[in-house]
Amino acid sequence: MAGNSFGKIFKLSTFGESHGPAIGGIIDGCPSGLLLNQELIRYEMKRRRPGQSALSTPRIEADDYEILSGVYEGKTLGTPIGFIIRNQDYRPSDYEALKDVYRPSHADFTYQEKYGFRDHRGGGRSSARETASWVFAGSVARQLLPLTEIMAFVSAVGPVTFSGSYEEGDRNKIDSSPVRCPDEGSSAKMIAFIESLKKSGDSTGGVITCVIRNCPAGLGEPVFRKLQSKLAAACLSINAAHGFEYGSGFAGASGKGSEFNDAFRVSDGKVITATNHSGGIQGGISNGMDIYFRVAFKPVSTISMEQQTVNSSGENVILKASGRHDPCVVPRAVPVVEALAALTLADLMLEHRCSRL
């Protein structure tokens, strides 16, 4: 497994199993001289951590991080920023019954096939606990782009969808909703749906919309490090993510060029596009307009109902899980999507410094 790094210039490398002593990582390539705002980091970490509302997993993790290097007198040194987040509320005994059973649609079977050996406790390395490190690093990345706003929200929970566009993202409305949907009516229906699933022991998926405002033009490196490629690769690293689209996305496939082309216009001496079906990206490079994309998540794999599966002896068995879980992780994935977008942009922003003589 040599795929635990993200980024080329601003590079995050991570480690950690869900029920080992700690998770953490190293940010290499953060420029020197950044006065790190730790309030912002703690705010983002808090948004992601479990146990925030009655809707999510009861696992309690303070998610207190410790910065071990790379910051001196409050400022980044330009040297690698090492950080760890101790695992606290881990209960390996919860997972004893799962030692020899492959949970359906989890990574248990594939890790066993790939490595011949695995840490079965809470999914080990495949757990979404990993995303705490991403949020930490994303929050540092974000501070390199102080003028750029990165905002994600829940636009669907199971069959309940919020049909508003990316332009309706509003940080206050999002954060005041337990499901992080900016629309109150949709929000209420999403909550009701999640509560009904909780009772039945079932789960669901959803969709997150992310918009990036005030992103400078020029980010993205053709042809294999296009902005959309890096965003998609990042978002599909999130557990349960099964789809990514930007701009006109899948819907645009059915239209015509005469409807979907974005006419350039000059406005106040600045080149803009009259519409934004391109989603702020053309030829793999940001064009200065709003960047927006959507990420689809499949239903959570952990459910409390009985399921058919196989054990490591190759026998068909019945599984009834008892571990803690969220019926819908999509609201908690909102800060994760933002973090990955920030990591992607910070990396490409630094790389872009090398584009011209």
| Residues in region 11-70 near a copy of itself by CB under 8 A | 11, 13-17, 20-26, 28-29, 31-34, 66, 68-70
Q: Which of 56, 57, 187, 309 binds a copy of itself (CB under 8 A)?
A: 309
Residue among 37, 188, 236, 324 that touches a copy of itself (CB under 8 A): 236
Please, which of residues 164-193 interact with a copy of itself by CB under 8 A? none
Is the CB of 58 or the CB of 159 nearer to a copy of itself?
159
Give the separation between CA 139 and CA 143, rounded to whole angstroms.
7
Among 190, 300, 342, 345, indicate the residue that binds a copy of itself (CB under 8 A). 300
Task: Please list, in sequence order, all residues whose beta carbon lies within 8 angstroms of the beta carbon of residue 288, skipping any fewer than 6 positions away.
Answer: 215, 216, 217, 270, 271, 272, 280
Rule CB under 8 A: which of 273-292 touch a copy of itself? 273-274, 277-279, 281-288
The torsion angles phi and psi of 107, rounded to 5 degrees, stand at -95, 5
Min dist. Cβ of residue 197 to a copy of itself (A): 7
Q: How far is the CB of 315 from a copy of itself (least distance, A)?
A: 7
Which segment (46-54, 107-115, 164-172, 175-183) binds a copy of itself by CB under 8 A?
107-115
Specify the DSSP element, H or E, that contains 257.
helix 257-260
CB of residue 234 to a copy of itself, shortest distance in Å? 8
Under the binding rule (CB under 8 A), the answer on residue 320 touching a copy of itself is no
Report the alpha-carbon distance of residue 347 to residue 144 in Å, rounded.
Answer: 10
Angle, CA of 20, 24 and 29, to the nearest 5°: 155
Nearer to a copy of itself, 39 or 253 (CB): 253
Min CB(172)–a copy of itself separation in Å: 26
Q: Is 6 in the site for a copy of itself (CB under 8 A)?
A: yes
Beta-carbon count within 10 A of 202 CB: 15
Measure the CA–CA gap between 286 and 162, rounded to whole angstroms.
27
Which one among 47, 49, 106, 198 touches a copy of itself, defined by CB under 8 A? 106
Across the strands, what pairs with 293?
210, 246
Nearest to a copy of itself of 75, 171 (CB atom): 75
From 301, 304, 257, select the one nearest 278 (Cα to Cα).
257
Minimum Å gap between C-beta 332 and a copy of itself is 15
- Please, which residue, 171 or 265, has the CB nearer to a copy of itself? 265
Stretch of 8-16, 41-49, 57-65, 172-180 contacting a copy of itself, by CB under 8 A:
8-16
How far is CA 36 from each of CA 24, 79, 146, 249, rounded to the nearest angstrom?
Answer: 18, 14, 12, 36
SS3 of residue 268 by DSSP = coil
Both tokens of 126, joined, read 């495949």
CB of 135 to a copy of itself, least distance (A): 14
Q: Is 250 in the site for a copy of itself (CB under 8 A)?
A: yes
* 61-85 as b/e: b if 16+ CB within 10 A: bebebebeebbeeeebbeebbbbbb
Q: Is 3 in the site for a copy of itself (CB under 8 A)?
A: yes
User: What torsion do the CA atoms of 160, 164, 166, 168 make, to the nearest 10 degrees?
Assistant: -120
Site for a copy of itself in 191-230 (CB under 8 A): 197, 202-207, 217-218, 220-226, 228-230
Nearer to a copy of itself, 184 or 315 (CB): 315
Interface mask toward a copy of itself for 127-166; x: CB under 8 A:
---x-------------x-----------x-xx-x-----
Q: How many residues interact with a copy of itself (rule CB under 8 A)? A: 154
Structure tokens at 252: 């645009």
CA-to-CA dists, residue 154 to 43, 107, 175, 179, 340, angstroms = 19, 25, 11, 7, 16
**Which residue, chain included where needed, has tokens 């606290």?**
88
Give the pairing of strands 149-157 and 206-213: antiparallel
Establish if 323 lies at the interface with a copy of itself (CB under 8 A). no
